[in-house]
Structure 1
Amino acid sequence: MATDSLRLYGAIDLGGTKLRSIVADGGGRILGKDLRPSQSQDGLDVVLERMVESLDASVAAAEVEAARLRGLGIASAGAVDAVRGIVPGAPQLPGWDDVPLARILEERTGLPTRLENDATAAALGEHRFGGGRGSRYMLYITMSTGVGGGIIIDGEMYGGKSGAAGELGHVVLDMNGPPCGCGARGCLESLASGTAIAEKGEQLLDNGKSPILARLRAENGPVTAEMMHRAADLGDNASREVFREAGHYFGVALASYVNIFDPEVIVVGGGVAKAGDLFLDQARVTMEDRAMAQPLKGVRLIRSELGDFGGTLGMVARMAEAEEGRA
């Protein structure tokens, strides 16, 4: 339960299938939390209702009055116009078109509200409260269904002219590679995301190359990156090779990031990064083989410390710093 002297904030991480909310103090201590389906397939109005319900549940779990909250931060999937508080559209949020999400939630909750892309918010969370604490130059990359990222320069989030910087999943690694959801071909996302790994798994099954994976699919349904990882753990060499190849592509991208940004630490989150050492170990080997010596020196490549709470805690940091005049 919160003491009366704490500054408290609400935060919501909105995804296509789930939304997570928290109530936390300005130091990143979570006092209440909630997780529920976002029901994005049911349209905007339903999602908005779920967001408010989730925040109310987190307030109740924290055992505080809603009036104690000093602001609300939203980390949203998809492209975000953080300056205007608008979600222009996102594949994960069907039917959304230039939705003024910050304004709508501010009107419904009565709280000052800020909006960021979910990966950008997670980068800020890791820098303030997680694996990037104390660094001045940090990259955050989420390797999940898609690939996103955030950039910390001189201890502050770098957003670029429109707040859209950090699309680290859309560097092109193979101009003749598979099509990407962004419209290009051969992006990191199309080669090493959870979706790309699952597609490679389906190809293995089509070619009869993975009896272990075939058994898992028969028992559990469509192939996922998590299923591929389980098959690899069970000794499926074809699945292991898919993870090694994806890790290699990720390492090629990491080498470019190292050469361009000269970071102290690279924090990797998302389900693919959590799926054992095979993927990240290969990425590290390739990065170290391909990056230039000077910027590579001293770089730490680590897993996320905050896990699923990176986005919400990043928005807590954003709201707290906005009050202090730092954001």
Structure 2
Amino acid sequence: MGKTFFEELNSENIIGVAYKNLGLKKKLLSYFTNVGNATIADLCKELNLSVPKITSLLADLIEDELIKDYGKVDSTGGRKPNLYGLVPESAFFIGVDIKQNHINIGLSDLQKNLIKVSEKLPYHLENNKESLEALIILINDFISALTIPREKLLGIGINLSGRINYATGYSYSFFHFSEEPLSKIIESRIGIRVFLENDSRAMAYGEFSVGAVSVEKNVLFLNLDHGIGLGILVNGQLYYGKSGYSGEFGHIPLFTNEIICHCGKKGCLETEASGWALSRMLKERLKEGATSILTRKNINPDNLTMEDIITAANNDDVLAIEMIAKIGDNLGRGIALLINLFNPELVILGGCLAATEDYIKLPIKSAINKYSLSLMNTDTVLKMSTLGERGGILGACLLTRNRLFNIV
């Protein structure tokens, strides 16, 4: 008896005809995920293969329960052809979205549906082995609680901030302790294929696939968190740059100041327009004697978090709103620069700071109008993320699926 699709997918020794057939099966699955259900005639035309070959490939995928025969389809004449399509619950993918103080983990099926989600699991991201070990434990605990067969878990996508080479599996900002790729280190501890991705790019892909994007092909996604990240969609495709490090928007040197950024340089956009900058500015104001809901709650300014400030703003705290507006104006200057460079159809605001909605959006919009060319900004729509915290989970799951099945 031959190997199943799942066994072939995880085999490192598959060669010859079996290797070629695996590639063709991936193409079939890619077509079904992108287009939907199809007849044998549709598939022959799309893949330029004969009817017997398509029939044989479909038979294998049906036996492996990845594809289902959905019966006859209406036809204009002659024999009605059968319609084939994916079995959503035949394969699953895990997405892990790592934040500064928590992680979100989710499970998706073959058709973009989130089956299970565990959000805001306590976790502190630090660049040490203890933090990496805690991450692996959380992922293994999530997998242990699942009721689906382990062999149906085809891959895990993990989002990290900073410089990630998704093609090699190396992270150069966090957990770069070994010559071995981080993806392989985690994979050896979990036993399932692991793919790394930059967090902002994964969040962007979630929005591009099932979120705020509808028909737009040229889109910018801003991840407004402790730092500032950027995901870029050009002509319907994620843009990575030569080494996969595109989108370091937060490190554009826009300001003349003596504040040392996390990257080690001065004057970066992040020093005046990020969640990290927001916390610093508000702490300074409180120490100068400014009043706020936060002071009435007896929160020590030194222990103030970005989440505290966002909660205060959403409870109409004047100082928090004022500081967010200042951050928004600075961000708008940077986004105006992007609009002048890319002339995008759509700019999406996501990340933690997007939870303040109009408090951040309106000053950004005002600054865009002030600093970008009017011919360009009138063609650009500004939207808030529709997926919120789940954007990163979905993006990680979908990118993992795409890489396993060679989906473009």
Same fold (TM over 0.5): yes
Instruction: Name the residue aligned to 2:295.
Output: 214
Report Cα offsets for 1:6-35 as digits up to 9, x if no partner. Answer: 332122223343222211023321112234
1:86 aligns with 2:175: no
Letter in 1 for 2:367: T
- Distance in 2 between residues matched to 1:183 and 1:41, nearest whole Å: 17
Instruction: Name the residue aligned to 2:93.
Output: 9
- 3-state SS of the aligned residue for 1:134? coil
Aligned runs of 1:306-317 on 2, under 5 Å? 306-317=387-398
What are the ranges of 5 or more consecutive residues in structure 1 without an aligned counterpart? none
Change (3 A) 1:108 1:225: closer
Aligned runs of 1:22-33 on 2, under 5 Å? 22-33=106-117
Report Cα offsets for 1:288-310 as digits up to 9, x if no partner. Answer: 22211232123121111111121
- Cα deviation for residue 119 of structure 1 reads 0.9
Aligned runs of 1:240-279 on 2, under 5 Å? 240-279=321-360
Change (3 A) 1:271 1:71: same
Instruction: Name the residue aligned to 1:74.
Output: 158
- 3-state SS of the aligned residue for 1:172? coil
Report Cα offsets for 1:230-276 as digits up to 9, x if no partner. Answer: 55566654443322211110110111111111111111112212124
Q: Which residue of 375, 386, 390 maps to 1:294? A: 375
- Distance in 1 between residues matched to 2:258 and 2:384, nearest whole Å: 27
1:139 aligns with 2:220: yes
- Cα deviation for residue 112 of structure 1 reads 2.8
- Cα deviation for residue 141 of structure 1 reads 0.9
CA contact under 8 A between 2:292 and 2:318: conserved in structure 1?
no
Q: Which residue of 190, 204, 208 maps to 2:271? A: 190
Q: Identify which of structures 1 and 2 has the higher relative contact order when contacts are C-alpha pairs closer than 8 Å and 6+ apart.
A: 1
1:21 aligns with 2:102: no
CA contact under 8 A between 1:229 and 1:275: conserved in structure 2?
yes
Change (3 A) 1:17 1:98: farther
CA contact under 8 A between 1:259 and 1:291: conserved in structure 2?
yes
- 3-state SS of the aligned residue for 1:149? strand
- Number of residue pairs matched? 322
Report Cα offsets for 1:38-59 as digits up to 9, x if no partner. Answer: 3555942663464354355256
- 3-state SS of the aligned residue for 2:244? coil
Aligned runs of 1:152-231 on 2, under 5 Å? 152-176=233-257, 178-210=259-291, 212-218=293-299, 222-231=303-312
CA contact under 8 A between 2:159 and 2:196: conserved in structure 1?
yes
Instruction: Name the residue aligned to 2:136.
Output: 51
Change (3 A) 1:261 1:105: same
- 3-state SS of the aligned residue for 1:182? coil
Compute the RMSD of aligned alpha carbons: 2.8
- Distance in 1 between residues matched to 2:125 and 2:327, nearest whole Å: 29
CA contact under 8 A between 2:287 and 2:301: conserved in structure 1?
no
- Cα deviation for residue 159 of structure 1 reads 0.7
Aligned runs of 1:55-134 on 2, under 5 Å? 55-58=140-143, 60-61=145-146, 63-90=147-174, 96=177, 100-134=181-215
- Cα deviation for residue 207 of structure 1 reads 1.5
Greater Rg over alpha carbons, structure: 2
Change (3 A) 1:53 1:250: closer
Letter in 1 for 2:153: L
TM-score, normalisation: structure 2: 0.71
- 3-state SS of the aligned residue for 2:104? strand
Letter in 1 for 2:325: R
Instruction: Name the residue aligned to 1:283.
Output: 364
Letter in 1 for 2:406: G
TM-score, normalisation: structure 1: 0.87
CA contact under 8 A between 2:169 and 2:196: conserved in structure 1?
yes
